[in-house]
Amino acid sequence: MLTDDLLALQHADTSIDQLTHRRAALPERAALSAAQADVTRAQKTVASIIARQRELTDSVEASELHGAELTKKRVRLEAQLKTVIAPREAEALMHELDTLAAERDALDDAELEALEEQSQLVDDLAAAHAAEPALASAMESAAAALAAVEAEIDREIGELTVSRADVTSRLEGGVLADYERLRKHFGGVAVAHLDGRTCSGCHLDLSTSEFEQVRATQSGELSECPQCGRILVP
């Protein structure tokens, strides 16, 4: 019967819509996204540590070069101090040596801090690398779980699609076009059935005369809900 085919078509389409929505909102998908985010964060952490190690290496090398320049300057000033006679000139040289010593102390302190941070970063990098296999395994497991659920849903959608095609092959083009138009207009539900005197589509009651008119619909003909306009099946 025409009404049976339309109900079957509506059931198939509703089921496909539900499965498609479920597929998009699977908890396994959220779990995979979380696992991927963990791996990404770990990768960024490793990259950040390596970048900081390079910065510190450059800083230590620069400090050593600067320290060598300060040493040369100190040696030169000390040599000059041995040859000067004028007190003011000697005082100026002593002040410059004191400034160099303070600068060298600050440079040594900064280099020591850099070396200590480098040592800590070695441990941090080792810990980050040690965590990588577990994170990668968790991501792979999450991906496998998602793929398994998706495959089952896709199988169900495939079966419903085949059933849908079988039904549509029995429907006339005009009826199918009306169905598709109504389905689009009503957000997926084009065919409703009577539940007592209530339309299952809009959930509104039909009057006695409307109800009797729908009930009197001949086989091969279609009636509409007088309230919402959906195809209404007794």
Quote the pLDDT of residue 84.
85
**Residues sharing a CB contact under 8 Å with residue 198, sequence separation 6 or more, in sequence order:** 204, 205, 206
For residue 14, the surrounding DSSP H or E stretch is helix 2-24
pLDDT for 234: 81
- Residue 173 pLDDT: 86
Average pLDDT, the chain: 94
What sign does the dihedral 103-107-113-116 (CA atoms) show?
negative
26 within 8 A of 150, measured Cβ to Cβ: yes
Phi then psi for residue 109, to 5 deg, are -65, -45
Q: What is the pLDDT of residue 43?
A: 97
- In the numeric block, which tokens belong to residue 109? 């302190």
**What averages of pLDDT result for each successive group of 10 residues across the chain (234 residues)?**
90 96 96 97 97 96 94 93 88 93 94 95 97 97 98 97 95 91 93 91 92 82 89 88
DSSP H helices in 25-172: 27-83, 87-168
Structural domains for the chain: 2-168 (1.10.287.1490), 173-233 (no CATH)
For residues 223 and 217, the answer to whether their CB atoms sit within 8 Å is yes
Number of neighbours of residue 111 by Cβ within 10 angstroms? 19
Structure tokens at 71: 């040493």
Alpha-carbon dihedral sign for residues 224, 228, 233, 234 = negative
**Residue with token string 């001949």:** 218
The per-residue pLDDT for 2 is 86
